Amino acid sequence: MTRTKAFTRSTFRSMRVRNYRLYFYGQLVSTTGTWMQTVALGWLVLRITNSGFDVGVVTALQFLPMLLIGTYGGVIADRLDKRRTLVITQSGMAVAAAGLAAIALTGADPLWAIYLLTVVSGAFAAVDTPVRQAFVSEMVGTEDLPNAVALNSAMFNTSRVIGPALGAVVINLLNVGPCFVANAVSFVAVIGGLLLMRPAELFTIPPVARAKHQARDGLRYVWQTPELRAAILMMAVVGTLAFNFTVVLPVLAKFTFHGDAGTYGLLTSLMGLGSIIGALGVASKLAPTAKLLVGSCLAFGVVMTLSAVAPTLMGEELLIVLLGLTSITFMATVNSTCQLSSVPEMRGRVMALYALVFLGSTPVGGPIVGWIDQQFGPRFGMGVGGVATLFAAVAFGAVLLRRRLRVHDGPMLPALDPSAERAAA
């Protein structure tokens, strides 16, 4: 076997699982539609208000439910059948997207209605995200879990290349309304994939019985597990101040480089291209390490800081590719760390906390970065994220490397043998 074939076989090994293939391709279509809507939503609000702060507000509202009820989404993930729950949450987000499409197509553009439907969509996502994250292990088992997480990142960022590019073309040719329509229709693919799965082939984890204080138990479990505590704290800092690209990029494109929706779409697509490269690199590895976690965080901070001072659009475009590569490597490594360091009966609540600090921090960080964009310019908004990421790498990375923590499929992960997992299911 040649080196190229060995790399390909190792990188895409989770695709051998039929249930995962259905999930993968369905999500690819759906997230492409979501990115089309993301481009359209930011551009629509910017067109109505001409304010970077309001773009930050609508982004914050999208993730506000995650901040408020995200931990309970993790409890739902541990209690209920994940596949059936995902059908419900995906259907709810499809209805919200259809509502946004109806508003955009009328041309009235009432800002309050846009905000309201954004919150509704976010409420379904607050449950969907931890369920979807925890469901990955039930499709592929623990052995291929790091690979599946990385392939999910590659899929997500493939859509981040395709979606904004399609969105920019549609906006320029037809306006923003058809982007919302495309997103509503795209949910058919992922819902269909979930319904076509074979339940008998899932590595089903028995649901956790209802009990008091389960959300609190999840928080205590994370804090008492060193690997989880360090990874979550790093993501909390980076998620709050650095992962605000939907706030920074449209303002950067319009006011710093004097571009249009096509410029914004290009920057987002280039970031997605870099993310695909980074995700495939992570997928070829067997397990995340402390060095990879700290190194990717440090590289992410350096590149983001350089992006804040790029003098030309061409220079920004080159750095944006590297920004996508380093950011997704960090994100995928944190995700795998959280999943592999948690016992199955706690995985939903752990991933809810991961989603909380990654996505739920946006209602805090989004308006802050939007205000910085408005008062001092988008370069400062980008620079704050870069400095915060460097701080996280130095502060928490030093602790990780000192302890030489490594995520591995050791004693804390039960049922490592696939046949044993299937028997348990």
Helix (H) / strand (E) element for 168: namely helix 145-174
Q: Rounded distance, CA 233 to CA 360, Å?
A: 14
Q: Give bridge partners of residue 204 from the DSSP assignment.
A: none
Cβ contact 282:150 at 8 Å: yes
Number of alpha carbons in the 13 Å side-chain half-sphere of residue 385:
34
Contact partners, residue 4, CB within 8 Å, separation at least 6:
none
C-alpha distance from residue 135 to each of 84, 138, 148, 417 (Å): 11, 5, 11, 18
Contact partners, residue 424, CB within 8 Å, separation at least 6:
203, 204, 206, 415
Q: Give bridge partners of residue 406 from the DSSP assignment.
A: 289
CA dihedral (60, 65, 67, 68) positive or negative: positive
Q: Rounded distance, CA 209 to CA 68, Å?
A: 23
- The whole-model pTM stands at 0.73
Q: Rounded distance, CA 185 to CA 85, Å?
A: 19
Per-residue pLDDT, 1: 52
Interhelix angle 18-49/111-140, nearest 10 degrees: 160
C-alpha distance from residue 153 to each of 43, 122, 160, 325, 334 (Å): 25, 20, 10, 11, 12
Contact partners, residue 227, CB within 8 Å, separation at least 6:
337, 341, 405, 407
Per-residue pLDDT, 415: 32
Nearest 5 degrees, angle CA 265-CA 269-CA 275?
150
Q: Which one-letter DSSP state was computed for residue 415? A: -
Q: Give bridge partners of residue 289 from the DSSP assignment.
A: 406
Q: What is the mean pLDDT of each run of 10 residues along the chain (425 residues)?
A: 66 89 94 90 83 78 83 86 94 94 83 91 92 90 81 79 82 88 96 95 81 82 85 91 86 86 82 83 72 89 95 92 91 84 84 81 80 89 94 81 50 32 30
Tally of residues, the chain: 425
CA dihedral (274, 278, 283, 284) positive or negative: positive
Q: Rounded distance, CA 172 to CA 243, Å?
A: 27
